């Protein structure tokens, strides 16, 4: 019995991707070899890496605009320090919208001055700050597009004349944006792109090479670009499975097609949170994430009943993060609308039984 997997990440991927990647472990491309035992320098894998890079740029509409796509290791947490290592000469501006922004700020402070342009910490990050000043002399502005833990999402990005860096780990490939506004985008794969173990970095080349410090090879974007993301052995399986997922997104009509489905799922979910008198949403209405819906029971006494009903309906992964409590329904690209319907029905059933 398959579960309805609302896990915040690693999370559900398309069923076809599970099948294809499982098969490739037994026999990749009818080669008589497993995807796990082939050389990363083999023709077959070089083709995988190139297709993954190409698809990423194509889906983001960033082809022929001076960007490179890299599939690195170490997660967004490594990007927190790499972004600063490569770009922070004197001062950087950071928008603080939650746990991950705060961690990015902590790492950046090792490399220079950090100006926090705004923060929503005053209300446990339940909203996105607006109308803040961005220092014109900062080396870049860093923001987090979607806050998995708090269920908020930036709807309108600031217009800046300095490089714009964005951690899109939890909403990449989920909605149409003018991605050319950004100079560095990074995203751990394990939400909308693939399994844990690789990180997409999309970087505009002309922002690089401007800091005076020496950068260790593995932390230097220019080194990875120079080697087409194969400076050292890449995480072969994670890149392959990401490539399969990117193909699936393209088949679904690209980001536009996926966005439509995501908005339907989010409307269904938030509709019930707002309608059902037993629940209340956590995030400010205008900043609600279409990826992660955070909500609480108004009456904690209903906790066991709600969770029993959810379990009986084969629902997995709706417990909220400890810093928010309550529940979180993560509705990443691959989550079927049917799963949201099942959860909504459980919420309705609770109302009947309570």
List residues binding its own copies (CB under 8 A).
Answer: 1-3, 5, 7-13, 18-19, 21-23, 25-26, 31-34, 36-40, 73-78, 80-81, 103, 106-107, 110, 188, 190, 195-198, 214, 216-219, 231-238, 241, 314, 316-317
Q: How far is the CB of 129 from its own copies (least distance, A)?
A: 25
204 is catalytic: no
Report which DSSP code applies to 159: P
Contact 138, 162 (CB under 8 A): yes
Residue nearer to its own copies on the CB measure, 57 or 82: 82
Token pair for 342: 């099942």
Question: What whole-number distance in Å separates Cα of residue 303 and Cα of residue 154?
Answer: 31
Residue nearer to its own copies on the CB measure, 103 or 348: 103
Residue nearer to its own copies on the CB measure, 232 or 345: 232
Question: What whole-number distance in Å separates Cα of residue 259 and Cα of residue 177?
Answer: 11
Residue nearer to its own copies on the CB measure, 74 or 254: 74
Q: How far is the CB of 104 from its own copies (least distance, A)?
A: 11
Q: Check 167, 171, 183, 287 and give the catalytic one.
A: 167
Q: Check 191, 204, 248, 265 and give the catalytic one.
A: 191
Give the distance, in angstroms, between the CA of residue 2 and the centroid of all CA atoms in the same chain. Answer: 24
Question: What whole-number distance in Å separates Cα of residue 242 and Cα of residue 190?
Answer: 9
Question: What is the bridge-based pairing of β-strands 315-316 and 4-5?
Answer: parallel
Report which DSSP code applies to 301: G
Question: What whole-number distance in Å separates Cα of residue 104 and Cα of residue 110?
Answer: 11
Q: How far is the CB of 185 from its own copies (least distance, A)?
A: 18
Would you list the DSSP string of 4-73?
Answer: EE--SSS----HHHHHHHHHHHH-STTSSS-TTTS-TTSHHHHHHHHHHHHHHHHHTT-TTTTEEEEEES
Q: How far is the CB of 284 from its own copies (least distance, A)?
A: 26
Q: How far is the CB of 170 from its own copies (least distance, A)?
A: 12
E runs forming strands in the chain? 4-5, 67-72, 91-96, 113-119, 141-144, 146-147, 152-153, 164-167, 184-188, 199-204, 279-281, 292-297, 315-316, 327-330
Residue nearer to its own copies on the CB measure, 135 or 317: 317
Question: What whole-number distance in Å separates Cα of residue 348 and Cα of residue 283?
Answer: 21
Residue nearer to its own copies on the CB measure, 41 or 301: 41
Q: How far is the CB of 167 from its own copies (least distance, A)?
A: 13
191 is catalytic: yes
Residue nearer to its own copies on the CB measure, 323 or 353: 323
Q: How far is the CB of 40 from its own copies (least distance, A)?
A: 6
Q: Check 100, 139, 204, 287 and give the catalytic one.
A: 100
Q: Choose among 187, 124, 174: nearest CA to 151.
A: 124
Half-sphere exposure (CA, 13 Å, Cβ side) for 334?
28
248 is catalytic: no
Catalytic residue ranges? 100, 167, 191
């Amino acid at each position: 019995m398959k579960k309805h997997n609302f896990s915040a990440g690693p999370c559900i991927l398309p069923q076809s991707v599970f099948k294809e990647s499982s098969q490739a472990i037994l026999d990749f491309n009818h080669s008589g070899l497993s995807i796990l035992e082939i050389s990363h320098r083999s023709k077959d894998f070089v083709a995988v890496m190139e297709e993954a890079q190409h698809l990423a740029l194509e889906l983001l509409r960033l082809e022929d605009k001076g960007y490179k796509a890299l599939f690195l290791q170490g997660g967004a947490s490594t990007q927190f320090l790499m972004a600063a290592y490569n770009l922070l000469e004197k001062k950087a501006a950071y928008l603080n919208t939650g746990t991950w922004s705060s961690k990015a700020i902590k790492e950046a402070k090792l490399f220079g001055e950090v100006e926090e342009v705004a923060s929503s910490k005053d209300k446990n990050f339940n909203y996105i700050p607006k109308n803040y000043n961005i220092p014109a002399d900062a080396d870049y502005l860093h923001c987090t597009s979607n806050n998995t833990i708090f269920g908020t999402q930036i709807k309108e990005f600031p217009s800046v004349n300095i490089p714009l860096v964005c951690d899109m780990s939890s909403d990449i490939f989920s909605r149409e944006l003018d991605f050319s506004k950004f100079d560095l985008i990074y995203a751990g794969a394990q939400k909308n792109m693939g399994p844990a173990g690789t990180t997409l970095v999309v970087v505009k080349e002309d922002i690089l090479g401007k800091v005076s410090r020496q950068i260790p090879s593995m932390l230097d974007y220019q080194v990875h670009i120079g080697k087409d993301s194969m400076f050292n052995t890449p995480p072969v399986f994670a890149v392959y499975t990401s490539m399969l997922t990117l193909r699936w997104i393209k088949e679904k009509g690209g980001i536009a097609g996926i966005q439509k489905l995501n908005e339907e799922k989010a409307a269904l979910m938030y509709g019930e949170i707002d309608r059902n008198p037993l629940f209340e949403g956590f995030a400010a209405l205008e900043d609600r994430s279409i990826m992660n819906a955070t909500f609480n029971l108004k009456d904690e006494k209903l906790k066991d009943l709600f969770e029993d009903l959810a379990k009986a309906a084969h629902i997995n992964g709706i417990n909220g993060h400890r810093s928010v409590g309550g529940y979180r329904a993560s509705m990443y690209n691959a989550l079927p609308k049917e799963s949201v319907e099942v959860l909504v029905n459980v919420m309705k059933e609770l109302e009947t039984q309570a």
